[in-house]
Structure 1
Amino acid sequence: MDEREDCPYRVILRMEIRPDAAEEFERTWRAVGELIAREPANLGQVLTRDVEHPGVYYVVTDWTDEQGFRRFERSEAHVGHRRRLAPYRTGGEMAVTRVVHDLRGPRA
């Protein structure tokens, strides 16, 4: 994928998770993620764990466009998802981005 209007709208969340809650957080995130994947504007998401900082996770989620993401972000469903994940979190931040270039290797 190259720089075009149809490149996804990508949201990257950095989440700091209590050390004693990692396993339960991962289970809860997966359940929440399966619900988010049903959102019409959602293109998919990935949960990753930082290998140098085990309590840090990144969620990368792609959306068709900003409008679709913002509609979801303001929804009651999203408020409920955040509530389910809040007990595990100690901090974090969100970056809202537009994919400019997506270069894939031969194994992709």
Structure 2
Amino acid sequence: MFRVQLRMRIKAGCEAEFERVWQEVGDSVTDHPANLGQWLARSLDEDGVYYITSDWTDEERFREFERSERHLTHRQKLHPYRSDGSMVTMRIVAALTGRGTR
């Protein structure tokens, strides 16, 4: 599995609108056949900071999506809300399931 994590700082006062638009355009990511899911998390430690995590079957298929028109459209809809951001990619090497999921 291949994981992508974005860190985004959202402009002050735009947080609720950003969350709404993220929900609206999310299927442009999750409808891709190689996408395993994505999550939006709001930091409790930093005002206006969000983390978007998405899992993919493999890096090649993610990079295919990243270069697509679908991704460009998705980014254009979210870009007006952010003041900065960064991306980290990783390969999952192990996973443990917590008791609460059993």
TM range (shorter): over 0.9
2:26 aligned counterpart, secondary structure: helix
Does the Cα contact within 8 Å between 2:43 and 2:51 map onto a contact in 1? yes
How far apart, in 2, do the equivalents of 1:61 and 1:30 lie? 14
Percent identity at matched positions?
50
Partner of 2:56: 63
* TM value normalised by structure 1: 0.90
Does the Cα contact within 8 Å between 2:28 and 2:70 map onto a contact in 1? no
* TM value normalised by structure 2: 0.95
Partner of 1:43: 36
Write out per-residue CA displacement over residues 26-52 of structure 1, whole angstroms, 9 at most, x where no aligned residue: 011111212211101100000000001
The answer to whether residue 94 in structure 2 is matched with residue 101 in structure 1 is yes
* Structure 1: 4+ residue segments shifted above 6 A: none
Query: Aligned Cα RMSD in Å?
Result: 0.8
How far apart, in 1, do the equivalents of 2:33 and 2:49 lie? 28
Aligned residue pair count: 101
1:102 positional shift: 1.2
The answer to whether residue 14 in structure 2 is matched with residue 21 in structure 1 is yes
Write out per-residue CA displacement over residues 2-48 of structure 1, whole angstroms, 9 at most, x where no aligned residue: xxxxxx10000001101110000001111121221110110000000
In structure 1, stretches of 5+ residues that fail to align are 1-7
